[in-house]
Amino acid sequence: MKSFDYARADTPEAAVRQSGNPATKFIAGGTNLLDLMKLEVETPDKLVDISRLDLRDIAPTDAGGLSIGALALNSDLAADDRVRTHYPVLSRALLAGASAQLRNKATTGGNLLQRTRCNYFYDTASPCNKRQPGAGCAALGGFTRNHAILGTSDHCIATHPSDMAVAMRALDATIVTMAADGARRRIAIGDFYRLPGDTPHIETALDPGELITHLELPPPPEGKQIYRKVRDRASYAFALVSVAGIVSMDGGKIASAALAFGGLAHLPWRDKRVEDALIGNAPSTDAFEAAADVLLTDAKGFGANDFKIPLTRRTMIACLRELTSGAAA
Amino acid sequence: MNELNNSLTMDEAVERNLLDRGRQGVIGKPLDRVDGPAKVTGQARYSYEEPIENVAYGIVLTTEIGRGRVASIDADAARAAPGVIAVIVDHPLVPTDSSMTSALPRTLPEIENYGQPIGILVAESFEAARSAASLVRVDYAPEAGRFDMMEHLAEVEHEPPTRFRPPQEVGELDAALAQAAVTLDATYTTPHHLPAALEPHATIATWQDGKVEIRSSLQMLQWSRGAIAASLGLEPTAIRILAPFVGGGFGGKTGVGPEVILAVIAARDIGRPVKIALTRRQTAHLVHRRSDTRQRVRIGCNSDGDILALAHESTVSQKEGRDFIEPVSIGSLSLYAGAARRFSQSVVRLDLPMASAVRAPGEAVGTLALETAMDEMAEKLGLDPIAFRKRNEPERDPLRGVRFSTRRLVECYDDGASRFGWEQRHALPGRRREGEWLIGMGMAAAVRSNLLMQSQARVRLTADGVAVVETDMTDIGTGTYTILAQIAGEMLGLPLDRIEVRLGDTDLPPGPGSGGSFGAAGSGSSVALACQQIVERLASLIDAKPDELTLQDGIATARNRRLPLVELLAGQPIEALGTIRQGKNGQAVNQAAYGAQFAEVAVNAVTGETRVRRMLGVFDCGRILNAKTARSQAVGGMIWGLSYALQEEAVVDRRTGAFATRDLAEYHVPVNADVPRIEAYFIEESDRYANPIGVKGIGELGISGSGAAVANAIYNACGVRPRDFPLTLDKLLPGLPPV
């Protein structure tokens, strides 16, 4: 671990004042950042400890949604009655992630900003365009079981590891931030994450020193919600594919659909065309297959992760069947 | 005080089990671990935790290419970094990898595998050491390496020299296969496995007056002391190793890891104690692996299901110059009848870290193939898998013709089948479905050869009636402290709070160490032999024959006399040394432990995810010393079998020869949520040929066959039978029904 300066912030304003350059990192739960610092994958000059900021509350918004403080613990958010009742997809996604110990420590804001679990990102002896722009990508031609099949580039095929963010994407969450100069900003989650392109080291729309203070959920969506995670062991494993689905029915036809996918891309994947292909149709295997065709048209495997293409298709169809069936979610 | 001696060489059957004379009633009982409170309260100190004054922190420096040469090392920047004491990259005795008997001559600048040690950096703190290590600049002259067994199968080396080589062939295999009415010819593969002990591989080395004291996480102290002495040119008497608590070994601590040698070198160089713990990611390359395997199994039967021919031929990988060859077929040698038999082992030399013993070497991976093949063959014959096995239960060792010491495998099948509800299994796969889940049952046989290694233990009955048991045997979480206390307590008639067991110190009499499931047999027998001698002395003190003497709760009773031990001893302690050695029994009879493994699994018909619903094992493994620790051993082993069937896989990047899965997030072993209800039962029978206390090794038996039971249950659930382990969902997907 590289030596670093440490400062503790008492207010968001103080936190952002002490930040503002790329070598400064905020630390909250530290469940990901500290591991990466030990490996020197992350080498900040300075840590600003935001864990004592008053940002833990989960409260209703005037619009009928929910405001979630960036420091609300994953375990608290998952157990919140309002979340369990009105946003079950979020509660289930949270509980599908990590382990109980990690969820007791990890925060909502930090969860959004997890770095990829690409084996080569973790190995500082391997070239990685995320760690060192322009160095190359060791995952290409390497062991790719956990890697992306959608939205990849020649520079990076990593996946985003979060479960929570997939549910947030399906729920159309808004990320509320404070910039280094104290200015507030609202970023739709659809605009928050970036595809790798030729700058895989830039993962979000956040500017240096910009602090996530809250997440906002819109009013509870109509219809049924599910989160399904497919993984190699029953807990403490990253998603091979996960689906956050919200579907409402009207007169035997799909009235609305929101489908977000984890384990497939550099970001929680959502494709409006897939949802459009479903809306207005009666649920049927043919309709689900057609929607899966839309999702996977451009899917590309890299050998060890080729199986994700049929796995995603099968999982998506099973989820849609459950979402459109009469039984309760 | 004169020390008494009692030695026994196992040349014939023991007439009377030494434990039978005891009246204390502690042997076999499901007692809690005597070291449990110390462990759960943090009082038990593991090797890295011993407070040592003025200690410096070392970190092992390793190569970042898999084959080639070190062109140059520039450590100037590292030496100038804050807190750095020394960077040692030019010492002639830097080890290349773990050593079992002596370290191999240093090969630098030649690089034999990725992550090989090239030196050690020592600093005032662990953080300073780790940070400065990244400043050491190594220039390499890389060469093309050989990293993948399948790519180099054509260059296979047949019949390599190996310490485990089994007899090769009896009968006429090809002719028998040609005559067989039903044949199976199947090839199975298993990946590299890492030991993955939870406690870090850690060492503290302290030099004083020309002698070095080593606190280290090691399984076998006598072997280790010899290896360290040979590696560094020291007299064994100049080395003391302390390993009172070891947090899991799994084979990875059977040899002396490079961190041990480097700590000793560095501590002498800088004149201060040095401690090193490998980081989790370093263990992938600095601790040995279990080889990947390619196994061809051929079985030929007549139409009734009698095995006429059985062949189990394997290919494994190993570094150049290392003699350990994964003994893949060792469990297959005498598990089933059949006149024509062939077992062979071949090796492909690769530029990968050394392969060595990991959790049930041989049987762990060998039974995955053999017991899956038996399931496949039973289906071809239209026989129930248990009926097929019972039909081919041999009367005598089918290879050597000798008798089995004890073998109650058929009872294990029957008892297990009845307890498990085997009759509810559908003979045809894919017949039971609950929602999205396909449910199936599978079984397999378990076998683990039984060993006895020379062992010594000293028992001292103090004048105040406390027994002190001493041996350098280790307790790696297995329960050694507890069973040795039970043996001494049973034989000397003492409650366990009057027994003190001291382990893990080379100043104590040499035990067998923990490995090969031979620890309890050796160390337990030597303690029992020492106690037997003490009992004889007590008998003479009370003027009776040993058979007339009863010892219970610290009271000696004989010939109408009843005396507290303290009075009988009259201020004079008694000390005895017990020694057990293997003799003719090792070859004259076939000694093994057996079992029947059962599993019920659910396979998701959409995703191919497998979740094990329950497991059950019935084991025939001699006399049970502690029903609780024995059960823990069996259950733990069964979980490792689940792990081999479904999860464990160390993936090598074929371009670099580096393991891609280097931490416990990527190298999967089962978590609690993967482990279902597991039942383990024992059919107890004292083995008179094995040792004077009639026990057999348990530790690795539970591993044997349990993975195959899971694999066979998967087939029964969904009708898909991949032959490439682990059976991850991607391998099941192509065979699953449409969604």
Residues A62-76: pLDDT tens digits? 999 999 999 999 999
- To the nearest 10°, the Cα dihedral for B632, B637, B642, B646? 130
At position A9, the amino acid (one-letter code) is A
CB atoms within 10 A of CB B509: 21
Residues A135-179: pLDDT tens digits? 999 999 999 999 999 999 999 999 999 999 999 999 999 999 999
Residue B108 — very low, low, confident or very high, per pLDDT cuts 50/70/90?
A: low
Collect all residues of chain B within an 8 Å Cβ-Cβ radius of residue A311.
607-608, 729-730, 733
Q: Which of B609, B651, B662 sits opposite A230 (nearest CB)?
A: B609
Q: Which of B609, B666, B730 sits opposite A307 (nearest CB)?
A: B730
Residues B666-685: pLDDT tens digits? 999 999 999 999 999 999 99
Residue B95 — very low, low, confident or very high, per pLDDT cuts 50/70/90?
A: confident
**pLDDT mean across residues, chain A:** 96
Collect all residues of chain B within an 8 Å Cβ-Cβ radius of residue A243.
none
C-alpha closest to that of B238 among B266, B270, B206, B262: B206
Collect all residues of chain B within an 8 Å Cβ-Cβ radius of residue A141.
655
Residue A328 — very low, low, confident or very high, per pLDDT cuts 50/70/90?
A: very low
Helix B363-381, helix B706-718: angle, nearest 10? 40
Q: Round to whole Å and give the CA distance between B663 and B284.
A: 8
- For residue B129, the distance in angstroms to the closest alpha carbon of chain A comes to 9
- To the nearest 10°, the Cα dihedral for B92, B97, B101, B106? -20
- Please give the pLDDT value at position A327: 44
String of DSSP letters for B361-411: TTHHHHHHHHHHHHHHHHHHHT--HHHHHHHT--SS-TTT-PPBS---HHH
- Please give the pLDDT value at position B274: 98
DSSP A40: T
Collect all residues of chain A within an 8 Å Cβ-Cβ radius of residue B147.
none
Residues B529-553: pLDDT tens digits? 999 999 999 999 999 999 999 999 9
Q: Hey, are the CB atoms on A311 and B134 less than 8 Å from each other?
A: no
- Please give the pLDDT value at position B377: 98
- The stretch B566-574 carries a mean pLDDT of 97
The torsion region of residue B377 among left (phi > 0), alpha (psi -120 to 50) and beta comes to: alpha
- Please give the pLDDT value at position B564: 97
Q: Hey, are the CB atoms on B729 and A117 less than 8 Å from each other?
A: no
Residue A326 — very low, low, confident or very high, per pLDDT cuts 50/70/90?
A: confident
Is the pLDDT at B88 greater than 50, yes or no?
A: yes
DSSP B1: -
Q: Round to whole Å and give the CA distance between B420 and A282.
A: 46
Tokens 């280094």, located at residue: A180
How many residues are there in chain A? 329
String of DSSP letters for B11-24: SS--SS-GGGG--S
Residues A86-118: pLDDT tens digits? 999 999 999 999 999 999 999 999 999 999 999
- Please give the pLDDT value at position B106: 62
Q: Hey, are the CB atoms on B609 and A231 less than 8 Å from each other?
A: yes
Q: Hey, are the CB atoms on A143 and B660 less than 8 Å from each other?
A: yes
**Residue % of chain B over a pLDDT of 90:** 93
Q: Hey, are the CB atoms on B655 and A141 less than 8 Å from each other?
A: yes
- Which residues are CB-contacts of B554 (< 8 A; sequence separation ≥ 6)? B465, B493, B494, B495, B498, B564, B565, B566
Nearest C-alpha in A relative to B125? A1
- For residue B730, the distance in angstroms to the closest alpha carbon of chain A comes to 6
Residues B463-512: pLDDT tens digits? 999 999 999 999 999 999 999 999 999 999 999 999 999 999 999 999 99
Residues B16-44: pLDDT tens digits? 999 999 999 999 999 999 999 999 999 99
C-alpha closest to that of A311 among A238, A244, A241: A241
A and B: number of Cβ contacts within 8 A: 92
Specify whether the CB–CB gap between A44 and A3 falls below 8 A. Answer: no
- Please give the pLDDT value at position B90: 87
Collect all residues of chain A within an 8 Å Cβ-Cβ radius of residue B607.
230, 311, 314-315, 318
Q: Hey, are the CB atoms on A233 and B658 less than 8 Å from each other?
A: no
Cis peptide before B109 (omega within 30 of 0): yes
- For residue A45, the distance in angstroms to the closest alpha carbon of chain B comes to 14
Helix/strand/coil percentages in chain A, nearest 5: 30, 20, 50
DSSP B686: -
Residue B553, Cα to own-chain centre: how many angstroms? 36
Is the pLDDT at A329 greater than 70, yes or no?
A: no
The torsion region of residue B513 among left (phi > 0), alpha (psi -120 to 50) and beta comes to: left
Is the pLDDT at B162 greater than 90, yes or no?
A: no
Specify whether the CB–CB gap between B156 and B146 falls below 8 A. Answer: no
Exposed / middle / buried, residue B79 (Cβ in 10 Å: 0-12, 13-18, 19+): middle
**Residue % of chain B over a pLDDT of 70:** 98
Mutate to test the interface with B, among A41, A307, A316 (most CBs of B within 10 A): A307
Q: Is B567 a catalytic residue?
A: no
Q: Round to whole Å and give the CA distance between B567 and A207.
A: 83
Across-strand partners of B7?
A: B579
Q: Hey, are the CB atoms on A142 and B646 less than 8 Å from each other?
A: no
